[in-house]
Amino acid sequence: MTVAAHLGVAPTTERWLRGRMGDEERPGAEGFLPAERDLESLRAAATGCRGCELYRDATQVVFSAGRPRAALMLVGEQPGDREDVEGEPFVGPAGRILDQALGDAGIDRDDVYVTNAVKHFRFHRQGKRRIHEKPAVGNIVACHPWLEAELAVVQPRVVVCLGATAGRSVLGRTTRITEERGHVQQSPDGQAVLVTTHPSALLRLRDDPGWDAAYDAFVGDLQAAAKAAAT
Ligand code: URA
Ligand code: SF4
């Protein structure tokens, strides 16, 4: 399936998305993938990816972590500030919430494969701070070949999409988290997928009266995914 078809955009739209930044800037990751694909070769090749403009300002590519043949694959949005510095996914504040929730769901983080829809940190500078910027659809499209290759190698039983960016990449369409969360559905490629909230969205509720319910719902979604992956 072409990237355009998978992502549910017309080929003309895909060309427009890529072309908007100039063709050289978003040629997409396809041309950077190795011929022989395992996690080691993918990880090594991703360091040289110039599939979109994000490699330029980021410190490094953040590929993935976890069990190579995991039953459960977690897909986030993109590395954050901490992840960009350390080169590992979910090691910052969102990662701490994720770790806690995985623990409360009875899931060992070492047993899952963790990656992101977009593999370089997108941000703008505000003085000395680097402020997270949501990836554009064009970045998600450009980066999709890496995720597709990871899916082919890891062959997870269930993919958990953490938030709308992951949903967009894996399901190939706009996902509405509140409407779709918590149940296993099939992607157009026949992959079992469960959509849930992003741990950063939870973080924003930290001191809110809604925290307990939101956190419990997140843990419940992770449990549902783990259960589906075990059957
Ligand atoms: N948020 C994400 O989506 N991914 C990370 O790796 C870190 C924060
Ligand atoms: Fe390549 Fe993805 Fe990084 Fe863009 S974000 S340069 S497509 S790895």
Q: What is the mean pLDDT of each run of 10 residues along the chain (231 residues)?
A: 57 53 78 98 98 98 98 98 98 98 98 98 97 97 98 98 98 96 96 98 94 98 98 88
pLDDT of 7 reads: 59
pLDDT of 2 reads: 54
Is the CB of 211 within 6 Å of ligand 2?
Answer: no
Q: Which of 49, 121, 148 to mutate to test the pocket of ligand 2 (most atoms within 8 A of CB)?
A: 49
How far apart CA 112 and CA 128 sit, in angstroms, is 35
* C-alpha 89 to ligand 1 mean position (Å): 6
Write a three-state SS string for 124-159: EEECCEEEECCCCHHHHHHHHHHHHHHHHHHCCCEE
* Type of residue found at 212: D
Structural contact between residues 184 and 195, judged by C-beta atoms closer than 8 angstroms: no
Largest CA distance in the chain: 51
Structural fold of domain 3-230: Uracil-DNA Glycosylase, subunit E (3.40.470)
Q: What residues flank ligand 1, with Cβ below 6 Å?
A: 76-80, 83, 89-90, 92, 94-95, 116, 200
Atom of ligand 2 nearest to the CA of 135: 5
Distances (CA, A) of 71 to 100, 108, 135, 203: 20, 12, 27, 27
Atom of ligand 1 nearest to the CA of 163: 3
Helix, strand, coil % in the chain, rounded to nearest 5: 45, 15, 40
* C-alpha 48 to ligand 2 mean position (Å): 9
Q: How far apart are the first and last CA of the chain?
A: 28
* C-alpha 15 to ligand 2 mean position (Å): 17
Closest ligand, as measured to the CA of 203:
1
For residue 203, give both structure tokens: 């973080």
Residue carrying structure tokens 């910027």: 133
* C-alpha 199 to ligand 1 mean position (Å): 8
For residue 225, give both structure tokens: 């995914």
* C-alpha 87 to ligand 1 mean position (Å): 11
pLDDT of 25 reads: 82
Which residue's CA lies nearest to atom 2 of ligand 2?
Answer: 143
